Structure 1
Amino acid sequence: MENLSFNEILEAVNGRYLEYNGERKITYVETDTRKIKEGALFIALKGENFNGNKFADVALENGASAVIIDEIAFDVLKTKGLGNIIIVEDTRKALLDLAAYYRRKLDIKVVGITGSTGKTSTKDLVAAALSSKYKVFKTKGNFNNEVGVPLMIFSIDNSYDIAVLEMGMSNLGEIERLALAGKPDIAVITNVGMSHIENLKTRENILKAKMEITTGFNKENVLIINGENDLLKTISRKDYEVIKIGADDDYYDIKAKDIKICEDSVEFTVDESSFLVEQLGYHSVLNGLLAIAVGRKLGLSDKEINKGFKNIESTSMRLDVKEKNNNIIINDTYNASPDSMKAGIDVLMNLKKSYNIIIVGDMRELGDESYNAHKNVGEYAKEKGIDLLLTTGEYSRAYKDGFGESTVVFEDKESIVNYVKALDKNYAVLVKASRGSKFEEIVNNLI
């Protein structure tokens, strides 16, 4: 992290000092008192079940150089001489405002990535592609919301050339605030599906929310989109450059040809250049094209991009293939939506094994579309030739209505594990559900 003076912090968050104990060096920003060490700037956040203001004194006692609060919920007298205390109207806004200020101090390029599905895989591919020429920072894990993105921004310093930031949302306005903080030079939208339709009601509103990533764009900025998505293909050129990617059709600015979907990778050509992406499924071709578009805009040759693809470091629990006792387990338990469910099924069937199972759970935040979305995934699995569907959760009936009699509904995850372990045949299985279902517990008991 680059140095921030206390006056800079005060200006950035529009705050006032409650306690000042001299200039102290700040080496990182933290919102969790359990991770506080010497040199921290602690920002006290509030949620439904917690209030960080109550622990600001603990942060100072543990060595924090300063704390930012929006409520006095501790004994200020006990913190005399320990560090500096800044009070603001809203610490969540202060976190974003300070990140935006800090971003302006960084002499780097930023690539912002959003989309209903594929954000993380595309982030990993973009970072890998750029790594052959540049020092690249990328979002860690799932730090893609209004707390995580600022913390990622504070983790960057000017030793990096490029930062690749994943930006998620659950409602309108969120990505706009992230874009104002991260100020991307290049924005990528992977697709517009049904994730968060419970809050946003229509896919058109989801598109509107995703397009907030272009907040503040001008003629120097670039938007790169998946032109195969029915809604994204409607985006026309504005006062900034728009690049559309896709397969075969001359309609696309960057298009893949000679596509080969292999068991452990995808291969394709773009403008006579050959590319190999060690990720699974047709969607990895599209994600690869998005990364190629970013690489080209940032001055990399196709040879350098393809070389960078070999450096891929994939985030865990996303189409992670394991093998045990001649059985194949695909761990894709990080999250789930109708589009990513179908992509996972495609990957499973491409393995060309004799007996294919999917273990699926609830997909969250689909609102009134929930029953039909789960039923449709069941229908898709049947159409693709899945042999057995195992499920537990609120929407088990919907899966069965779509998939039919080869569905087995269980009371809990443990029962699914016991059932699979008792099978007397070798299998390939996809395990997938929304994060809250914790289906990684199934994977851990099968491998």
Structure 2
Amino acid sequence: MQPLYVKNIQKLLQGELVSGSVEWHVNHAIYYDRHDLIHPNTLMFANKNDSVNWRVIDNKGPSLVISDKPTSELKQALSNTTVIRVKSVLQAYWTFIEYYRGLFQIPVVALTGTCGKTTTKEMIKHILSIDWNVQASISSKNEPRQSLPYLTGINETTKAAVFELGLGNTGNIKHQCMIYKPTIGIITNIGVHHLDGCNNLEGYIKAKSEIVEGLSNKGTLIINADDENTKKISLHNFKGKILRFGLQGHADFKASDSQFIENGMKFQLHVSNQTYSVFVPGYGEHQVYNALAAIAAVIEMGIPINKAISGLKTFKQMERHLEFSTGLGGSTIIDDTWTNNPTSVEAALKVLDTIGKDKKVVLVLGDIKRLGNFEKKYHREIGTMVAQRNVHMLITIGKKAEEIAIQAKKEGTNAEVHIFENVKGILDILKPILDSDTILLIKGPMSSRAMIEFAKNLKNS
């Protein structure tokens, strides 16, 4: 965080000094009860309804508390804490956000999408970090509550920022854009997820479209030209720049001749009537889309295209994202337990269509969560996708995933089908069939520690 003097914060927020000194500076910012107080020299916003442990705050000090609690409650006997009272802590919070974001005239990328946003974010960060100091959200930790620490992670040395936007409910993306004020917005794709928070697919698409409103008219929107749900977003009122990436129709960043080669994908990139050969680590057509979005973003930020392509070659594929390992009996284990939704399942099955040719294919599929009233519909659709493929064995884990197995059997799958409530007993079925001719895909929700551990055991056996 850029160090800020307390006296300047008091002036900015027009607050009343209740206790302590204003002749020092803060290096961190949190919202009390939403973030852990770890560091000294921390500014924290405390709501009037928060139950505050003043002793902990003082022991971690020096600390600065901004609050709209009654003055009588704020007058604590504190030796290491400065307290400033404001009329509204919510208004003070947004005033501070606006001020802090305004200190930095740097490119800020915000990404959303059903699949690929974490990988694309990491690709962008990787390419930019070759020469720049980059602030970025951590892994897939993209909840709105993380936005304040992420924003204040920007300081005078930061050349660019890349933030993944989390969507659990309508309004989440709008809220995060108000904090980050992105100059570049990316929609990787829109499939099906979080229908419990958005009611239905139309509501989910609308929630994703909040990123368009979150960009200024001078901003750049980067979208998937091939994605049917993205095409449903109205761009009529958007006055900024639009860049499209894709493999099929018209696109500003277009890929052709994509091929599976050792450890990744090779394709031809077409930009501004020029053609370039590109390699990206990681298998699948979806990985080509991720690479196109990342290349488009970094070029928009001024990175030469050859440098972007070169940087992409050294990108390290993320763990548990279609991660290939040698497992039990010399089998090939594909660990895709990072996230689970219908779009990512389809992408994984498409990878198997190529990688799994002439192999004994085993699928271990877990529950897909947050589909609301559409749980059975989308699990059954996956069952249909499985039935259309040459699969040796299908194992489902969980009550929801059971629908995958039922539908696959209903549609005449040739696979040997097993239904489990949990991972117990699955290894007994797998041990006799796993050999060097077998390729096993395990895919489940990141919330299932049991499936993640089971995948780990398969790889380490």
TM-score, normalization by structure 2: 0.86
Compare 112-121 and 295-304 and name the one that shifted more.
295-304
Alpha-carbon separation, structure 1, partners of 2:14 and 2:429:
58
- Secondary structure, in 3 states, of the residue corresponding to 2:367? coil
Alpha-carbon separation, structure 2, partners of 1:230 and 1:12:
46
1:341 aligns with 2:336: no
* Cα deviation code 1:375-415 (max 9, x no counterpart): 11122123232322222212132111222262211232233
Whichever residue aligns with residue 167 of structure 1, its letter is L
Match of 2:305 among 275, 298, 302: 302
1:38 aligns with 2:65: no
1:286 aligns with 2:289: yes
Unaligned runs of 5+ in 1: none
Residues 44 and 324 (structure 1), Cα distance of their counterparts in 2 relative to 1, 3 Å cut: farther
CA contact (8 A) 2:281 2:317 kept: no
Residues 424 and 300 (structure 1), Cα distance of their counterparts in 2 relative to 1, 3 Å cut: closer
2:178 aligned partner: 180
Alpha-carbon separation, structure 2, partners of 1:175 and 1:278:
29
Residues 355 and 90 (structure 1), Cα distance of their counterparts in 2 relative to 1, 3 Å cut: farther
CA contact (8 A) 1:414 1:442 kept: no
Residues 64 and 443 (structure 1), Cα distance of their counterparts in 2 relative to 1, 3 Å cut: farther
Whichever residue aligns with residue 239 of structure 1, its letter is K
Bigger Rg, which one: 2
1:429 aligned partner: 440
Alpha-carbon separation, structure 2, partners of 1:348 and 1:71:
58
Alpha-carbon separation, structure 1, partners of 2:60 and 2:336:
38
Alpha-carbon separation, structure 2, partners of 1:276 and 1:367:
39
Q: After TM superposition, give the deviation of residue 9 of structure 1 in Å.
A: 4.0
1:330 aligns with 2:328: no
Alpha-carbon separation, structure 1, partners of 2:416 and 2:383:
10
- Secondary structure, in 3 states, of the residue corresponding to 1:414? coil
Match of 1:355 among 318, 343, 360: 360
2:144 aligned partner: 146
Aligned length: 442
- Secondary structure, in 3 states, of the residue corresponding to 1:217? coil
1:5 aligned partner: 5
Whichever residue aligns with residue 286 of structure 1, its letter is Y
Q: After TM superposition, give the deviation of residue 239 of structure 1 in Å.
A: 0.9
2:125 aligned partner: 127
Match of 2:374 among 369, 373, 379: 369
2:421 aligned partner: 411
Unaligned runs of 5+ in 2: 410-414
Q: After TM superposition, give the deviation of residue 417 of structure 1 in Å.
A: 3.9
1:444 aligns with 2:456: yes
Whichever residue aligns with residue 246 of structure 1, its letter is G
RMSD: 3.0
* Cα deviation code 1:57-108 (max 9, x no counterpart): 3132122522345668x98666512212345688678666534432211232
1:394 aligned partner: 399
CA contact (8 A) 2:245 2:251 kept: yes
- Secondary structure, in 3 states, of the residue corresponding to 1:103? helix
Alpha-carbon separation, structure 2, partners of 1:90 and 1:142:
32
Compare 380-389 and 177-186 and name the one that shifted more.
380-389
Q: After TM superposition, give the deviation of residue 15 of structure 1 in Å.
A: 6.0
Alpha-carbon separation, structure 2, partners of 1:347 and 1:94:
50
- Secondary structure, in 3 states, of the residue corresponding to 2:288? helix
Compare 416-425 and 192-201 and name the one that shifted more.
416-425
1:254 aligned partner: 253
Residues 386 and 99 (structure 1), Cα distance of their counterparts in 2 relative to 1, 3 Å cut: farther
Compare 240-249 and 9-18 and name the one that shifted more.
9-18
CA contact (8 A) 1:97 1:181 kept: no
Q: After TM superposition, give the deviation of residue 219 of structure 1 in Å.
A: 3.9
Match of 2:220 among 215, 219, 222: 222
